[in-house]
Amino acid sequence: MIKRFGLSLSVLLAASLPLSAQAQDSSISELLDKVKAEHSDPKSRRSELPELTELAKILSPAVVNISTAQTVEVNTDDAPAFPKGSPLERFNDFFGGGGSQNGRVSKSLGSGFVVDADGYIVTNNHVIEDADLIEVTFPNGDTYEAELLGRDPATDIALLKIDAGKDLPFVKFGDSDNAEVGEWVMAIGNPFGYSGSVAAGIISARNRDISHGSYDDFIQTDVAINKGNSGGPLFNMEGDVVGVNTAILSPTGYSVGISFSVPAELASSVVDQLREYGETRRGYLGVRPQKVSNAIAKSYGLDSPYGALVTTVIADSPADKGGLQKGDLITHLGGEKLESSRLLSRKIADSKIDEVLEVSYIRKRKKKTAKITIERLKEQVTDEEKARREQAENDIDRVHSGIAIEALSDATRKKYRISDDVKGVRVVKVEKNAEASGKILSGDIIEEVGFEAVTSPKEFEEAMAAAKEFDAPVTILINRGGNYIFYALTI
């Protein structure tokens, strides 16, 4: 399952990576120039094992820890209150009590990086989404409250601004379009709250579609990316940012060597728009495309599959006004070959508003060209979409105390024949050294934690984190094939 990896915090205070005096006294650009001068042929370095020591020292000062807080109003009318004077009274703020409305602060942790000496910082949208407070901490311990300048859920990019009163170390976006499979890359971030952590690997694949959104064009790497790396930079061996670390593919929530980064070419264009307008201003064509298979390509007279087959033309859209029809196969945009249908959305989005774009297509095996004026895409998130995203966030697989669990999705219920009336989360794996090992088994359904029902992985994680605050075992209710078992575990 694809996971976004912002990290929920209970007690995570990260240790910072020491900065060399050289890195503090010189600009990152000047130091990188010295490194590049020693390795004048970039391509020759791709075949060598990289020396990361100097790069890590130079780049780390520009990579930051991002923590957020959100106040959530909860109804505590039915919640038990601990008596005043009780040793447990301090937990009333967390659990509620007394029949009043209490605010509960939810914290999360991610990564980011400075892209301008004036304090502009890039991170993932899901790291700061819905936050009431955003704080940025540098490796030397300096902490600033950040202003959210803009965010783009479609690409999961956000731009922050801090006022440090001085020039800050910063890094630059590089040319991700020329990044090659097999090329060495390095990530710096805050996995599990350990700030300044460096990990390296290679680019495993390009142009990955992970069903994350309309603009999927991810760089896949085998770099060890984990929770808390979200929003951090992926560097090439020139010290340029070629990606923004955004997602991992993992059954457990930990790195298994498959991670995904938003390419710098896409991220930088979004950042530029957020910086100038506070929002994105994407181009709009108004078609729904389909992938071109080998058979379809041949039926249109093409030797190989490329382009995008139009399945729908939106009424009164630029495509409609320009004469495009269902069944047209778009082959070129602005004279450039469209390599795949998946790239259509991105290329149109990157087009300038009110630009007249030349669109080449095939209709009934005849080549045609249309002049289409690109309009601005009106991006609105409906209540249904917000609910869907919230549910998706709740259902992300989680691991706590050595217990890996998943949501009871429709697919999971069908696969394991779990009836609709069963509520809870399904155990995927229990680590051998975990307290629950030998008690809770893979396939068990956890229905309650601490006598409270859990219906999603997020509720499970929150309940386990709350139980950890008590110096006593927590009771967990297991549904094992219709038979119920209680276990008491020390968290």
Give the integer Cα–Cα distance in Å for 248 and 260.
Answer: 6
**Antiparallel, parallel or unpaired: β 329-333 and 287-290:** unpaired
- Taking CA atoms, 289 is separated from 214, 215, 346, 359, in Å, by 11, 13, 12, 14
With beta carbons less than 8 A apart as the criterion, state whether 162 and 144 touch: yes
b/e map 60-78, b = 16+ CB within 10 Å = bbbbbbbbbebeeeeebee
Question: 156 catalytic, yes or no?
Answer: yes
Selecting among 230, 269, 345, 456, the annotated active-site residue is 230
With beta carbons less than 8 A apart as the criterion, state whether 286 and 272 touch: no
Please name the helix (run of DSSP H) or strand (run of DSSP E) that holds residue 412, with its range, or none: helix 410-416
Question: 167 catalytic, yes or no?
Answer: no
Give the integer Cα–Cα distance in Å for 111 and 7.
Answer: 10
What one-character DSSP code corresponds to residue 293?
-
Selecting among 156, 222, 397, 444, the annotated active-site residue is 156
Give the integer Cα–Cα distance in Å for 432 and 305.
Answer: 49
Selecting among 126, 152, 250, 395, the annotated active-site residue is 126
Dihedral pair phi/psi, residue 98, rounded to 5°:
85, 5
**Residues assigned a catalytic role:** 126, 156, 230
